[in-house]
Amino acid sequence: MMNKTETELRSHSEEETRRLGEIIGKNLVQGDLVALVGDLGSGKTCLTKGLAKSLGVSDQYEITSPTFTIVNEYPGHLPLWHVDAYRLENSREMMDAGFEDFFNGGGVVVIEWAEKIKDILPKDTLFVMFEYMDETTRIIRLSGRDAVIHRILTEYQHG
């Protein structure tokens, strides 16, 4: 039985959200999956940019939401697969696209609009939920394995 923790943070700027993404990325290992949930403009892609940086993705790549392609792949010391489930009707479409291959791909998978395919995500998925407060402030809720959440929080609060 895996112990899960939920915690809540506040981000007051894009820089803080990107920094949180970098910290999350440093605490991921091959095969990890990060599920991002939140409205348009709430910070999902911004967090992914920080995450990509910590995985060693070169600055030459512009990290954008793969809304029309569904998946963007970025090389780093851990490859990053950036998935956007926004246009999917259901999780079956994701499975038909070979989604399970990503779990064995030797990298990290980040999924925007993950709530659309929640039923097929592994139990140890790290969920990052964004709530829009105002122009610059977001409430960000993390839910996942105790040890991972603890390491992320410790570094975020002391950085």
With respect to residue 11, please indicate whether it lies within any of the assigned structural domains: yes
The token pair that represents 76 in the structure block:
């780093």
Distance CA 13, CA 16 (A): 5
pLDDT at position 46? 94
Residue 77 lies in a domain: yes
Average predicted confidence (pLDDT) for the chain: 87
Percent of the chain with pLDDT over 70: 91
Is 2 part of any domain? Answer: no
pLDDT in tens, 77-109: 999 989 888 877 777 777 776 676 766 668 899
Based on the structure, what is the number of domains in the chain? Answer: 1
Is residue 1 in some structural domain? no
4-11, strands of its sheet edge to edge: 4-11, 138-145, 126-132, 33-37, 108-112, 80-84, 71-74
- Judged by average pLDDT, the poorest of 41-45, 50-54, 89-93, 104-108 is 89-93
Read off the pTM.
Answer: 0.89
- Range of the structural domain that residue 13 is part of: 7-158
What is the token pair recorded at 19?
A: 């920094």
Question: 22 lies in a domain?
Answer: yes
Q: pLDDT by residue (tens digit) across 123-145?
A: 889 999 999 999 889 999 999 98
- Has residue 86 been placed in a domain? yes
Residue 102: CATH number of its domain:
3.40.50.300
The answer to whether residues 106 and 32 touch, using CB atoms and an 8 Å cutoff, is no
| Nearest-angstrom CA–CA distance, 94 and 37 | 17
pLDDT digits (tens, 9 = 90+) for 141-158: 999 988 889 999 999 888
Contact 94, 85 (CB under 8 A): yes
Q: Kind and range of the H or E element at 59?
A: none
Bridge partners, 128 (sequence order): 36, 142
- Is residue 99 a part of any domain in this protein? yes
> 109: which strand partners?
33, 81
Query: What is the DSSP pairing of strand 71-74 with strand 80-84?
Result: antiparallel
